[in-house]
Structure 1
């Protein structure tokens, strides 16, 4: 014979609050699952609330809250990385600009140095040319009277000369014509020369001597250095002279009787006589 119980009589009566505690426990587990790790990244307050608050947070947001916090940190990291890239780009741009400034400064300095070298070389060339021109001028010879010609030749005979012959040559020159040194040298005689009248003797730089006679005036003094073409006096007819002219001699010494052919002497120094 079977025994039966009335429907519903076999169940134990429910304890008040049992379901509530179970729900709260489940809510706590959900809270730990969703906020345990996230709370450490987001905010301590999120992990420290009551179980009711945690349950409410799970119901209200679930995993959404954790994703929002994660996105916020990612944005901060991305912004920081972007700022670092911008700073690096600025630093690189400044480095390149500084390198360009230095390169331009070097280029300008090199250009200035090159210009200075060229100017220095040009000055040196000009100085060399000037020195060469001066040497040429000092070694050059010229006629004692510009544009003149010989009227009485060397060794011409006659009673006009005590030795019986002409010891020099006569250049045509009106009274007061400019008489110049035929080359560079030093004056060794300047004054009255007897039959030569007012006379000048110059020791030339090559060791020879030249004499200028019958002058109306003398413009240099003994010991004075002269250069080619420098005016030393004016022509005249002083001393043993028949009229205004310049008596010119070339000698191997300052003494009378050491004469040599004046025309050949001048021609040997490049003068067209």
Structure 2
């Protein structure tokens, strides 16, 4: 979080649309969701979904996203995917496993990965931390 962007609980990593998103570490997928304009829809869905199109600044929400619960109840969140993540709730993923594709769904001005780290489960704004120093500390700089 930064003072100039309250509520922005992670870091934006620029990447081209279609870039594969990989799990930061192994764990269990605990959420796959479409989130825009303050509304959320859990997976699986009937199509089309509101997140199945490009978003725009001011729309609100994370678009298509997934959360992985890691050892010690650390949670990583991956937002703005181009389509429904390729993982499912309850699925165990290995470190580096593909989980989705970079897009620009939800509150987004262009293709990128919004990446969050939360210090406990379930993830919330209250337990979000800056992922940059966390990942450096754990030997995986962004």
- Structure 2 vs 1, CA of residues 271 and 231 (structure 1 numbering), >3 Å: closer, same or farther? same
Give the alignment's TM-score, normalised by structure 2: 0.76
Distance (Å, rounded) in 1 between the aligned partners of 2:7 and 2:73 = 25
- Superposed displacement of residue 155, structure 1: 1.7
Aligned runs of 1:95-106 on 2, under 5 Å?
none
| Relative contact order, higher structure (CA 8 A, sep 6+) | 2
Structure 2 match to 1:202? 68
Shift of 1:165: 4.6
2:77 is the alignment partner of 1:235:
no
Count of aligned pairs between the two proteins: 115
Unaligned segments of structure 1, at least 5 residues:
1-153, 159-163
Query: What is the match of residue 268 of structure 1?
Result: 137
Contact 1:201–1:254 under 8 Å retained in 2: no
CA separation in 2, counterparts of 1:155 and 1:245? 18
CA distance in 1 between counterparts of 2:67 and 2:25 reads: 12
Q: Please state which structure has a larger fraction of its residues in strand.
A: 2
Report the counterpart of residue 222 of structure 1 in structure 2: 89
Alignment of 1:140-219 (within 5 A): 154-155=1-2, 157-158=4-5, 164-194=6-36, 195-217=61-83, 218-219=85-86
Q: Which runs of 5+ in 2 are unaligned?
A: 37-60
What TM-score do the two structures reach when normalised by structure 1?
Answer: 0.40
Between structure 1 and structure 2, the one with the greater Rg is 1
Deviation >3 Å, runs of 4+: none
How big is the shift at 1:238? 0.2
Shift of 1:156: 5.5
